[in-house]
Structure 1
């Protein structure tokens, strides 16, 4: 962890909290360190609990974020965490900090965007808190449930597994960079995933119903960062194939406009909310077919191996280390 003068490292801080201050009880199954806490409910079900915060000028900017999109995205981030555990979201509570200058109509739009997504996934928004403050912020906690013996964990990957990812990658970061640039009149499709992400709840439940889940995480901080999370927690290495990465068309379009490499958006762009998971090779092929029939693309991008770290076989067939970087919260 960095010292106070240099700034705080997010995962260094989390590690200190986990080692020094985490408390537990008999019902706790998984504590700090995964996408959600896991606790016992009954003989067949486990409860899942996650929480996330979005703060103005840190996680969003009202200059280009509609209020409806803000509500949608804030809930989507939490639903994605539940999906990453193979779970079903059940209910949500919301705390909103409201600065001066925002009216009831603005706040109503936030809740309207949130409500539409909640209804789509059968989630009850059933309480929370409202306070005054200097910046607009949203904190949402979501409770979900999963089968007790089939929960997706960052620590579940096994050597020999295939590595899979849903959807395409890079368009969220690409859209953000276009939104923050001075470029005008670009197609709204480029912004879609950044402003209106779709959590892979349906896909996660489908996978959990068909397979014994191995390693799983959602891509919130970037593909490279999440690969490193699974590798560390599972104590394995990972090798990915550059040619197999599902780079989004929007990422290529934005990269051409901004004169950047779309591979950077694909590897290190955050807020994708796709599922990154591992399964035995034969089941991985089956998973691709099942998800495709359900309307979701899925790509096999690499393999879990013995060892540690993350490497990529490039288009020139060179095997290179992938640095552990992505979105940094501090």
Structure 2
């Protein structure tokens, strides 16, 4: 049986779904679906599943952290479109023999994360399941003129990211190899990046209001994969500047400990949930001034090109991404 990559599967679904018979601005192919709300605003809809054994293992997480992360990954999609989260539906499944105290703590984490981002939990479902899973749907709002999509990048645009890359992947690698939550000071930042990701709401709102962002996505499946998604929707290619990528000292320490290249964590590791975005060449100066004035970290990660391929530039040479290293949900 041939293993189907996630991106290919989504393309198959997209080609099979009939055009919407209801008002729709953007359907499949972005961080959120975009639906008209009123004269000045659109509704943003997103959903994500968080499955035990696929996205997390109990050995690494406190119960509250499981719930927090399940909500955070959904909030991050709203941030990537420049919106504000408003409401959430939560479906949770767990084994019949699961202890109620454990489930209460998981749900406490869900509630806490929703409250932190001013999202109201307004319903959902509960179901028996062989293992723990959480599926959350979040809807938010954004001004029409401020919504950032994946499809606006143009050749010559600069490719930027709002923070460190590879931290979550390095933190997960550390947890998997040492089979414990306990960490030293050097590894703490990377491990916490994996256990408790922080959606970039402030950064997303700032970028959306700036009016200079041409495309945006949150880095959920790795820099290379998510750059490919921007390029796929925009009909462009890109060159990623590997030597420019922001990697924190914690990730570097973990890479050194395990004999790995920290840049590989940055290129291929998922779940950083930083914002990856593009800005026209003429507006890069404005971006730098804005980021400095608002104390928002912004790093140059590459450039959008007229081709259709995503290449990695390192030591003056360009090469294609390592196919086997790209994150795949299947």
Q: CA deviation at 1:312?
A: 2.4
Distance (whole Å) between structure 2 residues aligned to residue 298 and residue 278 of structure 1 = 11
Corresponding residue for 2:107? 111
Q: How does 1:267-278 map to 2 (within 5 A)?
A: 267-278=267-278
What is the CA deviation profile of residues 119-177 of structure 1, one whole-angstrom value per residue up to 9, with x for unaligned ones?
A: 22111112111111111000000001111133211111011211110110011000001
Please say if residues 211 and 283 of structure 1, whose CA atoms lie closer than 8 Å, have aligned partners that are also in contact: no
Q: CA deviation at 1:239?
A: 1.5
Task: Tell me the TM-score normalized by structure 2.
Answer: 0.93
Corresponding residue for 1:83? 79
Please say if residues 94 and 140 of structure 1, whose CA atoms lie closer than 8 Å, have aligned partners that are also in contact: yes
Q: CA deviation at 1:288?
A: 3.6
Corresponding residue for 1:280? 280
Corresponding residue for 2:183? 186
Corresponding residue for 2:328? 328
Query: Residue 93 of structure 2: which of 97, 106, 109 is its match?
Result: 97
Distance (whole Å) between structure 2 residues aligned to residue 323 and residue 46 of structure 1 = 38
Corresponding residue for 2:40? 44
Distance (whole Å) between structure 1 residues aligned to residue 73 and residue 32 of structure 2 = 12
Corresponding residue for 1:165? 161
Please say if residues 165 and 246 of structure 2, whose CA atoms lie closer than 8 Å, have aligned partners that are also in contact: yes
Q: How does 1:241-260 map to 2 (within 5 A)?
A: 241-260=241-260
Distance (whole Å) between structure 2 residues aligned to residue 292 and residue 91 of structure 1 = 32
| Bigger mean CA offset, 317-326 vs 34-43 | 317-326
2:102 match: secondary structure: helix
Please say if residues 170 and 251 of structure 2, whose CA atoms lie closer than 8 Å, have aligned partners that are also in contact: yes
Query: Residue 54 of structure 2: which of 53, 58, 61 is its match?
Result: 58
Q: Which runs of 5+ in 1 are unaligned?
A: none
Task: Tell me the TM-score normalized by structure 1.
Answer: 0.93
Q: CA deviation at 1:326?
A: 2.6
Q: Which runs of 5+ in 2 are unaligned?
A: none
1:164 match: secondary structure: strand
Distance change in 2, residues 1:292/1:107 (3 Å): farther
2:213 match: secondary structure: coil
| Bigger mean CA offset, 159-168 vs 114-123 | 114-123
Distance (whole Å) between structure 2 residues aligned to residue 171 and residue 102 of structure 1 = 32
1:30 match: secondary structure: coil
Corresponding residue for 1:317? 316
What is the CA deviation profile of residues 57-109 of structure 1, one whole-angstrom value per residue up to 9, with x for unaligned ones?
A: 11100011111111111111101111111111111110000113322221221
Distance (whole Å) between structure 2 residues aligned to residue 105 and residue 214 of structure 1 = 46
Please say if residues 80 and 148 of structure 2, whose CA atoms lie closer than 8 Å, have aligned partners that are also in contact: yes
Q: CA deviation at 1:44?
A: 0.5
| Bigger mean CA offset, 40-49 vs 283-292 | 283-292
Q: CA RMSD in A?
A: 1.7
2:316 match: secondary structure: coil
Please say if residues 59 and 179 of structure 2, whose CA atoms lie closer than 8 Å, have aligned partners that are also in contact: no
Please say if residues 151 and 213 of structure 1, whose CA atoms lie closer than 8 Å, have aligned partners that are also in contact: no
Distance (whole Å) between structure 2 residues aligned to residue 22 and residue 300 of structure 1 = 39
Query: Residue 135 of structure 1: which of 127, 131, 138 is its match?
Result: 131
Distance change in 2, residues 1:224/1:18 (3 Å): same
Distance (whole Å) between structure 1 residues aligned to residue 240 and residue 112 of structure 2 = 37
What is the CA deviation profile of residues 213-243 of structure 1, one whole-angstrom value per residue up to 9, with x for unaligned ones?
A: 3111110000000111111211112122222
Please say if residues 167 and 189 of structure 2, whose CA atoms lie closer than 8 Å, have aligned partners that are also in contact: no
